[in-house]
A and B are shown apart, each in its own frame.
Chain A
Amino acid sequence: MKILVCISSVPDTTSKISFTDGDTKLNKAGVTYIIGPYDDYALARAVELKEQSGATITVLNVGGADAEPQIRKALAIGADDAIRVDVEPTDSYFVAEQIAAVAKNGNYDLILMGRETSDYNSGVVHGIVGEMLGISSFSPVMQLDINGNEASITREIEGGKEKLTASLPLVLGCQEPIAEWKIPNMRGIMTARTKPLKVIPAAGSALTITEKYSLPAPKGACKMIPAEEAEKLIELLKTEAKVL
């Protein structure tokens, strides 16, 4: 089985977000970058499938050279080789176009990625890739088992979940609890250094441009209500906040 795992490189979820250059660029100073948390679940499940029944895993990133530590980490966790499409991942269609271009020649049985990136949270790249390749796509996937050419999938729906079966090849957007995040071991880190990482140029052009960033207006002070007068809250929500 051949698996393509697409990873994004994003600020750690605990990062404080700020901007520079007249609010036109993300301030990367002091920000730790990580493999997208949802992509990390997809990678972990791919490695489990490889351990169970054998597979080769290619990890793919659409991004600049500064994403390479995250790509190396994915190799240390268990991917066999890597491809980086050397371009800023500006918008969903554009990123999907890069992934589909790589996948077209790769003959992958499974293309896995997170349900969304944790920067723009759009959650559409997997579906666009599926459509471009003319294969089925599902998201958000919470459980995945492969039996021959057949995948058993549990996906989250509003207020519950749905179990389904579908034939490979598939594109899946993953989320917890599909697998536990994996931490690379020393041997993995050592071997990752020499695993192949191919850098290729992008195809097509971006459809959107981010012109300016901003932060939410700061919150006013929190109005404290004494516990013994808790019922006053309801009055305030009605008359002052006007949300009841």
Chain B
Amino acid sequence: MILIFTEIADGAIKKSSLEAIYYGSKVAEMMDTTVTALAIGNADAAELEKAGNFGATNILHANDTKLTSPNSMAYASVLAETVKNTGAKVIITAKSSFADAVIARAAGALKAAVVGNVTELPNMSNGFQVKVSIFTGKAFADVKVNGDVKILAIKKNAVAPIENNNSAAVENISPSLYENLFSAKVTETIKATGMISLPEADLVVSGGRGMKGPENWQPLLDLADALGAATACSKPVSDLDWRPHHEHVGQTGVKVSPNLYIACGISGAIQHLAGVNSSKVLVVINKDPEAPFFKAADYGIVGDVFEILPKLTKAILANK
């Protein structure tokens, strides 16, 4: 059996987790077994059943009120206990910084081999081999995973899911919840609301120093809004506090692999490219024709971002 650790947002399974379920179903086909998903926290049964559309036979739901707010240590304990109870040998999750914290502790408890940033389905012709993205997307490694229990964190777009009409059977579970898992006290949570999640986004519009100041962000926000895209920024922009740190994309920030990444006024330092080079399509808008980013781009426009962005927004709205 393959077990998928899913993440829940607003009562539903996150899109990246549905992708992980689909990935798991393909691995299950190769290993001639089935897929069970694990959901922790508050979620609607109707939403959980959708795990079936992506290939899960059933979904285990741990819905204790103690688990309502994400707590990586408690979630890891639930995951490890579920692995032991089900006898799962392959655990799959969508890569995220929360999922990393969860699978890490579970790996410690299970003596599991962990491989992150998996970009393709495994090759099982000679053992269990996966391709992973390394050096922040600058290269790939084919890694043979030898542990008895294997945990894979897959990168966005590792597979293109095809939905079916099956629904997953929802089964409630009551895992052991030890006091010490809840010893940390959360004193404050600051979270942008109504924003499209950057790591999950299919479309991203990003700004660099060429935007010339935080007061000039409106045309970029307008384009993101028209596209339904998430917004991001380069490291200097977040260092200057023009934009919040969680928008910083690059080697030391968020790594994204959307279908479309539009870079506005970003020169394309190698550290920034590292965070975005697994995007399917890269668009670069910069007034400097020598900007190194153009070498990595699929489409480029040399010109003033403040003239170009409104034109793009207008073209999208006209087509809607």
Contacts and interface: CB of A to CB of B under 8 A. Distances in A.
Interface string B101-135: 11111111101111111000000000001001111
Interface string B263-299: 0000000110010011011011000000000111111
A17 B134 CA distance: 10
Interface residues of B, number: 95
Contact of A159 (B109, B192, B202): B192
A138 to B, nearest CB: 7
B139 A213 contact: yes
Q: Which of A93, A140, A161 has the most CB of B within 10 A?
A: A93
A166 B71 CA distance: 13
B85 interface: no
B105 A130 contact: yes
B101 A127 contact: yes
Nearest to A128: B108
B297 A222 contact: yes
Contacts of A115: 97
B131 to A, nearest CB: 8
Contact of A162 (B73, B153, B188, B284): B188
Contacts of A132: 108
Nearest to A150: B185
Interface in A33-54: 37-38
Nearest to A126: B104
Interface stretch (B28-36, B39-47, B60-68, B302-310): B302-310
Contacts of A122: 100, 114-117, 153
A16 to B, nearest CB: 8
Contacts of B76: 127, 131
A125 interface: yes
Contacts of B203: 243-244
A37 B252 CA distance: 8
Interface of A, secondary structure class, is mixed
A129 to B, nearest CB: 7
A176 B117 CA distance: 22
Given A158-B98, A208-B146, A234-B316, A138 B104 contact: no
A117 B84 CA distance: 29
A132 B300 CA distance: 50
A216 interface: yes
B142 A119 contact: no
Given A93-B114, A127-B104, A156 B97 contact: yes
A30 interface: no
A121 B153 CA distance: 11
Given A123-B116, A227-B308, A237 B281 contact: yes
Given A139-B100, A160-B189, A124 B141 contact: no
A91 B114 contact: yes
A219 B116 contact: no
B246 interface: yes
Contacts of A177: 245
A186 interface: no
A165 to B, nearest CB: 5
Interface string A161-191: 1111111000000011100000000000000
Contacts of A238: 319
B87 interface: no
A222 B299 contact: yes
Interface string B169-212: 00000000000000111111111100101110011000000000
Contact of B186 (A128, A163, A223): A163
Contacts of B281: 237, 241, 243
Nearest to A161: B190
A234 B278 CA distance: 21
Interface string A51-84: 0000000000000000000000000000000000
A214 B139 CA distance: 6
A63 B4 CA distance: 33
Q: Which of B102, B184, B197, B278 has the most CB of A within 10 A?
A: B184
A154 B8 CA distance: 22
B148 to A, nearest CB: 9
A93 B104 CA distance: 9
A3 B135 CA distance: 28
Interface of A: 11, 13-14, 17, 19, 37-38, 91-93, 96, 115, 118-132, 136-140, 142, 156-167, 175-177, 206-216, 219-220, 222-227, 230-231, 233-238, 241, 243-244
Pairs of residues from A and B, 3 with the lowest C-beta to C-beta distance, nearest first: A127-B104, A131-B108, A227-B303
